[in-house]
Structure 1
Amino acid sequence: MLAYIWQYFYSFFLRFCLKWLLRQLTGRCELQRICSGCAPGSVRTTRVEYSLKNSKNKVLRDAVNMKVDVVKDCVAQIMREKNIMEQKDLVFKVSFQQCLLQISGYNTLFASVENLRKEAFDSENQQHEEMLLKLWDLLMPSVTLESRVTKQWGSIGFQGDDPKTDFRGMGVLGLVNLLFFSEHYTDAARRVLSHANHPKLGYSYAIVGINLTEMAYSLLRTGALKRHFYNMVTGEPQLHHFHQFYCYLVYEFDQFWMEEEPDSIMDFNHYREKFHEKVKGHLLEPEVALVLNVDPNN
């Protein structure tokens, strides 16, 4: 209760007074002070985002939910609202626009990922089928798939004879992520698959990969990936940046699993959660940038 009262007092009175006082002393609004005092990256952008969300000005509050294509207009409108003269602060416009591109780009990225997640795998969709068969060819180049529905799919970690049933939870997003890793880091993907087929420490490669897609998706949905993307991408993050983060998860989880040496695949949920907490811990670091440190296809 006391914490709630303090938060209310700070948000609606003390913070406003501090902002007013600093503006009188420096001649700059809070947004200007943030943009001039912070280097590009998550610290600057998250502070700008917090300032906008907690502003008493509706124009500023609405800026955190704007579309990417209106960022320039929004910057101009906010500069008018805050009486910021471009000729007196040459750095602000560029820095602030970069922050807004990152903020709005994150929202757009989530919408794109969500669309893929909601798209069900369709056996009648030629593109879906081609992606699935390409995944097999990349991971099992020396083995010919006998038919579309076959027990061979178990070799790369699907549960049944037809992989389409395994994509129900994450939709096409699960397949797109698996294929992206196999296309862009083919050798690494094959090494991970070989670990997954280990006689003692093995796990279902494709099923775990889809599970890690859910992890990446949930981190994106909750905003936990903001610091990572704000540090990694100077403008608006794109779909391939999300796929790159997924590749990091897959590779690092495999390393984690092999180092932990679980007694049984039945312990998967325990180790999955342990890995999840480890990743979330990294994502709290201001300078976080989770990159897969292996050469593509090497």
Structure 2
Amino acid sequence: MISCIDFCAEVVAGSAAWLGRGLSCVCAQSREDESRQSFDLTLAQEGCLLKLQHRLDIAYDSSVPEHQESLRALWKAAFPEEELHGLITEQWKEMGWQGKDPSTDFRGGGYISLENLLYFARNFPESFQDLLRKQEGDRSMWEYPFAVAGVNITFMLIQMLDLEAVKPRTLVGATFLKFLTDNESAFDLLYCIAFKLMDHQWLAMRASYMDFNAVMKATRHQLERELLEENITRLEDLPSYKLLTR
């Protein structure tokens, strides 16, 4: 997988019109005072982590029929009444991709970032459409592009949860694995929560494109706090989950 730093450099260089210097590598940042530990895993947790890591390692490949169909399915979920004219078309800009070929953006997030978006569209269609079409709140003239923001959220979660490590080195990562053991779609569900929370923070902060980095930091910190709250036994218990279903 391309490194987070390389990806963020690509995004900044390729999307100056929308985020410019406002986007930095939030996903790679860690607090200096965060102590790195090592948490032992149960066999079930180890198996779930390996399965998720396998998903992280799958690059988007425009020659793979399954990947092509997932991309078409994403378009149909986003714009059910508008016919897609091809996998490479200017139409993709309507969803917030940088250009006419989404595969150039998936280079960074891999196939899982497409799966995350598709899961969101299928399981929370109302919230998905609200974010896609920016239907809630008093919006800035310079909004974040929906699709590319989604790829950044995938990256942020991978880094926040330390998912590329052999075993978690943070309490947040270890806590998430408990949820993953009970629900194999936990990463996709947390993605939906994070995306909705990010938009909620965006509106609360009255943000514009130069504030994207600050919004992502606030989103990450809020998720970390909620994951470590007492009496949270499943992701549906997170306070921010309510944003998806209200």
TM value normalised by structure 2 = 0.70
Partner of 2:199: 254
Partner of 1:43: none
Question: Which secondary structure state, in structure 1, belongs to the residue aligned with residue 133 of structure 2?
Answer: helix
- Of the three residues 167, 180, 184, the one matched with 2:106 is 167
List per-residue Cα deviations over 1:96-124 (Å, max 9, x = no partner). Answer: xxxxxxx4333323222221221111111
Q: Show structure 1 runs of 5+ residues with no match.
A: 1-49, 54-63, 66-102
| CA distance in 1: counterparts of 2:212 and 2:228, whole angstroms | 24
- Of the three residues 205, 208, 219, the one matched with 2:146 is 205
Partner of 1:219: 160
Partner of 1:267: 211
| CA distance in 2: counterparts of 1:252 and 1:147, whole angstroms | 32
Whether 2:239 is the aligned partner of 1:239: answer: no
Q: What is the letter of the counterpart of residue 113 of structure 2?
A: G
Number of aligned pairs?
196
* Correspondences of 1:182-201 after superposition (within 5 Å): 182-195=121-134, 200=141
Question: Which secondary structure state, in structure 2, belongs to the residue aligned with residue 253 of structure 1?
Answer: helix
- State the superposition RMSD in angstroms: 2.7
Shift of 1:268: 0.8
Which of 1 and 2 has higher RCO (CA within 8 Å, sep 6+)? Answer: 2
* Correspondences of 1:79-94 after superposition (within 5 Å): none
Larger radius of gyration: 1
Partner of 1:283: 227
Q: Show structure 2 runs of 5+ residues with no match.
A: 1-36, 163-167
Shift of 1:202: 2.0
Shift of 1:227: 2.7
Shift of 1:215: 1.7
Shift of 1:257: 1.0
TM value normalised by structure 1 = 0.59
Partner of 1:72: none
For the structure 1 residues 246 and 210, does the alpha-carbon distance in structure 2 shift closer, same or farther, using more than 3 Å as the test?
same
Partner of 1:87: none
- Of the three residues 65, 71, 83, the one matched with 1:132 is 71
Q: What is the letter of the counterpart of residue 190 of structure 2?
A: F
For the structure 1 residues 227 and 237, does the alpha-carbon distance in structure 2 shift closer, same or farther, using more than 3 Å as the test?
same
Q: What is the letter of the counterpart of residue 223 of structure 2?
A: V
* Correspondences of 1:19-34 after superposition (within 5 Å): none
- Fraction of identical pairs, as percent: 26
Question: Which secondary structure state, in structure 2, belongs to the residue aligned with residue 149 of structure 1?
Answer: coil
Shift of 1:274: 2.0
| CA distance in 1: counterparts of 2:48 and 2:213, whole angstroms | 28
For the structure 1 residues 254 and 202, does the alpha-carbon distance in structure 2 shift closer, same or farther, using more than 3 Å as the test?
same
For the structure 1 residues 258 and 295, does the alpha-carbon distance in structure 2 shift closer, same or farther, using more than 3 Å as the test?
closer
Question: Which secondary structure state, in structure 1, belongs to the residue aligned with residue 185 of structure 2?
Answer: helix
For the structure 1 residues 160 and 125, does the alpha-carbon distance in structure 2 shift closer, same or farther, using more than 3 Å as the test?
same
For the structure 1 residues 211 and 196, does the alpha-carbon distance in structure 2 shift closer, same or farther, using more than 3 Å as the test?
farther
Give yes or no for contact 1:157–1:204 (8 Å, CA) kept in 2.
yes
Give yes or no for contact 2:98–2:105 (8 Å, CA) kept in 1.
yes
Provide runs of 4+ in structure 1 moved above 6 Å: none
Whether 2:238 is the aligned partner of 1:293: answer: no
Question: Which secondary structure state, in structure 2, belongs to the residue aligned with residue 112 of structure 1?
Answer: helix
| CA distance in 1: counterparts of 2:225 and 2:55, whole angstroms | 27
Question: Which secondary structure state, in structure 2, belongs to the residue aligned with residue 170 of structure 1?
Answer: helix
| CA distance in 2: counterparts of 1:229 and 1:142, whole angstroms | 39
Shift of 1:238: 4.0
| CA distance in 2: counterparts of 1:132 and 1:196, whole angstroms | 23
Give yes or no for contact 1:196–1:205 (8 Å, CA) kept in 2.
no
| CA distance in 2: counterparts of 1:158 and 1:259, whole angstroms | 25
